[in-house]
A and B are shown apart, each in its own frame.
Chain A
Amino acid sequence: MELLTRTEKWDITYRHALGEVASWFYTQIRDHKKIYGKKDFKSNRVLVPPRAFSDETLEPTKDWVEVGPEGVIECFTIVYQAFKNLPDPPYAFGYVMLKGADTAIGGYFKGIDLTDGAKAAKQLAIGTPVITRFAEKRVGDALDFWFEVKE
C-alpha cells in the first residue's frame, strides 16, 4: 500500500504594535544604553521589562525607574541542541534581576566557555553578579543588550 504525504509551510508576517511603554523602553536602550522598569505600587514591584499595568493587580504602573546595568542571575540554562530557526548551539541565556528591579528580564549570557556544561553551570549559578553590555549598533530590540559575568 503506497502511503503519500503533502508538504506545507507556514509563511506569515506580523507587525505587532509595541505600545507606548515598550516603545519608550526600547528607545532608551537604542539611544541612551539605559534600561528602565516601571513600578506597580499595589504589589510594590518595579517591573522589568516594563508594562503599562501589573498583571497581578491589574493596576496601571506609575513611575519609570532606571535599573542596572549591574544585576544578578536569577536563572539560566545552556542549550546544546539545535532547533530550527533558533540559534546554533551552544548558547546560554536566562533571567537577570537588574539593580533596582524586582522582576527579572531575559537575555543571553555571553563570554563563558560552554563546552563543559557542569562547569559553565557553576559559573552561571543563581546569584552570580553580571553586567549588562550593549551592542554598538542598536535598533531598539531585546537583542541590543546581553549579560556578562562580572570579573
Chain B
Amino acid sequence: MSNHIQVGVIGSAQVSPANLNQASLEEILNTLTHAALKNAGMTIDDIDGIVVAACDQLDGRAISIMAASGSVGGVGRDILSTPSGSEHAFILGALRVKSGMYKTQLVLSWSPLEVDSISEIQKLSNDPYYHRALPQDDLSTYALQAGVLESEVSGVRESVIKFTQQSREKGRVAYPNISATPVQEVQIRDSKMLRWPITEGMVCEPRFGAVAMVLSNQDWIKDKQIKNPAWIHGMGWATETTYLGDRNLSDMGSLKAAAHQAYHESGISDPKSAFDVVEVSDPTGYQALLSLDGLGLCDSKDWRDAVHSDRFSSKGSLPVNLSGGATSFNPVFCTGLLRLAEAANQVRGCAGAHQKSGVRKSLGHGSSGFAMQYNSVVVFANLPKENQL
C-alpha cells in the first residue's frame, strides 16, 4: 500500500507579537514565512506547495486563504486550505509530499485576536437546527467533557490542578515572556469558576499566534545534507461524530483510531515506552489527561500517581508538554499545529529552552472542534524508518 517516499520536518517558526497594532495579519504571516524558510535553509522558490489553515470567522475574512495567500508565497504556487483544523494542514502537507507530486511543502496556521468575541464566533459552529440558542462555545464543551470525567474518575480534579501547575512551570521555562499564570496550585484551584468544573486558573487567555513548518522528502534532505530532520514515522487522524449528545465524551473513539493508525504505521506496539517526549492537546488539564489515556500513554487510573510522582516532567519517564502546552500559551486556532511543531522541534534538537536532550522519538497530538472533535496524531523520529534501531 505505501510507497518508499519518506517525509521529514526540516524547518519551523512561530510568532506571537506583543504589540498587535504594529503589523497587519498579512505582514505577520510574511515575517513568519521568511523565518520558517530561513530555519529550513531555503528560499520560497524551493517550495512547491503550501497548505494553510485558518478560521474565516476568527480572521474576519470570508475566505481566509485569500489575502493571506500572497504573504506566504502563494502567488504562482499550489496552495490549499484546511479550515477544519490547523493540524490538518500538516497532515495534508505530509500526504502531498508522500504522494511524490511535491518535494517540499510549507504548512502554516494562524489565530488572530481581531474579533470582538471569540466565544460568539465559536457558538456559530452550533447547528442552527437544534443547538444554536445554547451558550455553547469551545470552553463550554471542554467543561461538559470535564464534567463527565469528574463523575467517572475519582480525584480527577486534584490531578488536573497539579497537571496545570506543572504545565505552567514548564511554560515559564519554555516561553518566559508570554507564558500564562497562575502557577500556584491554590490559585488554580480557587480562581473564579468559569464553566463548572473549569476555573479561570485552569485555562489560558487567548493570544495571537502563528506557526509554520517546512516538510520535504528524503531526496531533498539528502541533497541538501540536512542533519536533523524530524522524520514522520506515522500519522493518524480521525473525527468524532457531530452532536455532543451522541458522543461518549470521556472515551474518544477518534483519538484511539488516530493513535492506532499512527502507531501501526510507525511499528509501535507499546506506546508507554516508545516516546522520549510527547506534546498533547490541552485546552485544559482535563483534556490533556484524557488525551494521554486515549493515546495509551497513561491510563486514567494512573493519572494521580503520574502527576504526583512528576512522571510528566522533563526528568520523568514520560515528559509531557515541555512547551507548557495551550495551558501556558493559547493561540486558539493553531494550537494543534503548534503541538506538532513542538514535538518535531524536540526531535530536531531545536526546541529552545525546553529542549530535552537526546530525543529520538516524539509524539505530537493536535485537536480541534467542540470537546476535541478532531484528533490527529503524528510520530516523529530522528532517523528514517529503515534505519531505526
Residues of A within 8 A of B (CB): 6, 8, 10, 12-22, 51-53, 55-56, 58
Residues of the B chain whose Cβ atoms lie less than 8 Å from the Cβ of A51: 26
B132–A8 touching, CB < 8 Å: yes
Residues of B within 8 A of A (CB): 20-27, 30, 33-34, 44, 57, 60, 69-71, 73-76, 114-117, 120-121, 124, 128-129, 132
Query: Closest approach, in angstroms, between the C-beta of B5 and any C-beta of chain A?
Result: 28
Bound CA span A20–B71, Å: 16
- Knowing A6-B129, A16-B60 are in contact, say whether A53-B25 is a contact too (CB < 8 A): no
B23–A19 touching, CB < 8 Å: yes
- Knowing A17-B24, A20-B22, A58-B30 are in contact, say whether A12-B60 is a contact too (CB < 8 A): yes
Across the interface, name the chain B residue whose C-beta is closest to A55. Answer: B70
- Knowing A6-B129, A14-B60, A58-B34 are in contact, say whether A19-B70 is a contact too (CB < 8 A): no
Residues of the B chain whose Cβ atoms lie less than 8 Å from the Cβ of A21: 24, 27
Bound CA span A55–B65, Å: 14
19 contacts between A and B (CB under 8 A): A6-B132, A8-B132, A12-B121, A13-B115, A14-B114, A14-B115, A16-B24, A17-B20, A17-B25, A20-B23, A22-B24, A52-B24, A52-B30, A53-B30, A55-B71, A55-B74, A56-B75, A58-B30, A58-B33
**Within the complex, which residue of A8, A18, A56 is in contact with B128, where a contact is CB–CB below 8 Å?**
A8
Across the interface, name the chain A residue whose C-beta is closest to B69. Answer: A55
Bound CA span A128–B156, Å: 73
- Knowing A12-B60, A55-B70 are in contact, say whether A6-B27 is a contact too (CB < 8 A): no
A17–B22 touching, CB < 8 Å: yes
B24–A12 touching, CB < 8 Å: no
Bound CA span A52–B34, Å: 13
Residues of the B chain whose Cβ atoms lie less than 8 Å from the Cβ of A55: 69-71, 74-75
Residues of the A chain whose Cβ atoms lie less than 8 Å from the Cβ of B57: 12
Query: Closest approach, in angstroms, between the C-beta of B130 and any C-beta of chain A?
Result: 10
Bound CA span A55–B22, Å: 20
